[in-house]
Amino acid sequence: MKILVTGGTGFIGSHTVVELQAVGHEVIIVDNLSNSSADIVDKIELISGIKPELEIFNLSDKELTADFFKRNKDIDGIIHFAAFKAVGESVQEPLLYYRNNLESLVNILQGMKDSGIQNIVFSSSCTVYGQPDELPVSEDAPIKIAESPYGNTKQISEEIIKDTVKATDILAIALRYFNPIGAHDSAIIGELPLGIPNNLMPFITQTAIGIRECLSVFGDTYPTPDGTAIRDYIHVVDLAKAHVIAVDRMIQGNMANEFEVFNLGTGNGYSVLEVINSFEKVTGLKLNYKIVDRREGDITQVWANPDYSNNVLGWKAERGIDEMTLSAWKWEQVLANK
């Protein structure tokens, strides 16, 4: 089948393209390269043997997006990753985030409606739950007031999709990611943070490789066993595979409802110190870190209840924390030898 992957040169997008090709789907990528580079398609070809088609333009541009859909009415499904996703930046630049993330989605949905394309998988986030009242967190947990404009664009996007599904023949699956980390086993693709990494895993590997002096652990006075915050880290390859299962579910007509939501997590929570311990264990390195104040906006702990994804979507995370931290390290070493 022909699958459009928006943001397909990005971290999760590129890993998903590889998994789509592995099961025989034809992939076309639309990306504006604002947080990635065009040579990712060559890296994908190195892994899969197939270079995906790439069109470079802003999906927030109404005319360009409408033109794309006029030329590509034969798309069987869309996986929509393209969005700005830096929490801190979204606080500084809310209008940039609302315009880019929401206008892109509206233009894509309009294009689907006009071209008769029915299936869309949406890249959502556990950030919609805020600090859940109950753990593990299930898909029916209450949506909390967003802590950032980034998180708010994910919540609003889900609402836009829900309303559009009701009013059209469009079917949608929202996948709420927990914390994606790691890299493809080949170490040919991985996370490419531009500038100083916001996220824990790339900061750990950049500290270990010597790009960063020292990792700052944002607080060790949380009400958790070791005082540091807990997250449900999930291997990016496990996450990518979930997208293939979701788009195939739609194409094969196996959905139970016209709009479905699934949590993509392992169900295991790891603290910052536990991630550091895993990294030190698998690499044999001693990581240079210090405890500093909490980061504004961080929640204490969150991990998924994966039962609904396991039993209904038919997907289960297979890779453990050590495989995640080791794959992230192997990728950082490849980047250092470029």
Please give the Cα distance from 323 to 329 (Å, whole number). Answer: 10
Binding residues among 11-30 for ligand WQD as defined by CB under 6 A: none
- Separation of CA 162 from chain center: 20
Cα–Cα distance measured from residue 293 to residue 295, given in angstroms and rounded to the nearest whole number: 7
Least Å distance, CB 313 to ligand WQD, is 19
The only residue of 112, 135, 217, 304 in contact with ligand WQD, by rule CB under 6 A: 217
Out of 97, 129, 150, 233, the active site residue is: 150
- Cis-peptide, bond into residue 180, ω within 30° of zero: no
Least separation in angstroms between residue 109's CB and ligand WQD is 20
| Contact call for residue 325 and ligand WQD (CB under 6 A) | no
User: Which residue in 177, 259, 303, 315 binds ligand WQD (CB under 6 A)?
Assistant: 177
CB of 81 to ligand WQD, least distance (A): 10
Closer residue to ligand WQD (CB): 75 or 175: 175
Residue 199 sits in the site that holds ligand WQD (CB under 6 A): yes
Q: Which is nearer to ligand WQD, 30 or 87 (CB)?
A: 87
179 or 283: whose CB is closer to ligand WQD?
179
Q: Using alpha carbons only, how large is the chain's radius of gyration in Å?
A: 19
Contact between 179 and ligand WQD per CB under 6 A: yes
- x/- mask, ligand WQD, residues 234-273, rule CB under 6 A, reads --------------------------------------x-
DSSP string, 211-269: SSS-EEEE-S-SSSTTSS-EE-EEEHHHHHHHHHHHHHHHHTT--SSSEEEEEE--S--
Binding mask 59-88 for ligand WQD (x = CB under 6 A): --------------------------x-x-
Q: Which is nearer to ligand WQD, 66 or 299 (CB)?
A: 299
Cβ-contact 193, 136 below 8 angstroms:
no
Q: Pick between residue 127 and residue 309 the one whose CB is nearest to ligand WQD.
A: 127
Identity of the amino acid at 245:
I
Question: In the complex with ligand WQD, which residue's Cβ is closer, 57 or 218?
Answer: 218
Rounded distance, CA 27 to CA 283, Å?
A: 35
DSSP, residue by residue, 60-79: T-HHHHHHHHHH-TT--EEE
Sorted by sequence, the CB contacts under 8 Å of residue 318 that are 6+ apart come out as 235, 238
Q: Report the DSSP beta bridge partners of residue 30.
A: 6, 55
Look up 150 and say whether it is catalytic.
yes
* Alpha helices, DSSP H, located in the chain: 11-22, 40-48, 62-71, 87-92, 94-97, 103-115, 149-167, 200-209, 236-251, 272-283, 307-308, 321-336
Q: Is 295 in the site for ligand WQD (CB under 6 A)?
A: yes
Query: Pick from 110, 186, 198, 277: which binds ligand WQD (CB under 6 A)?
Result: 198
218 binds ligand WQD (CB under 6 A): yes
Nearest residue to 291 (alpha-carbon basis) of 239, 225, 229, 205: 229
Q: Is 229 a binder of ligand WQD (CB under 6 A)? A: yes
For the record, the structure tokens of 242 come out as 């979930």
Q: Please answer whether residues 44 and 186 qualify as being in contact, where contact means their C-beta atoms are separated by less than 8 angstroms.
A: no
CB of 149 to ligand WQD, least distance (A): 12
Query: Shortest gap between Cβ of 184 and ligand WQD (angstroms)?
Result: 19
> Does residue number 127 form part of the binding site for ligand WQD (CB under 6 A)?
yes
The residues binding ligand WQD (CB under 6 A) are 85, 87, 125, 127, 177, 179, 198-200, 203, 215-218, 229, 231, 272, 295, 298
List the catalytic residues: 150
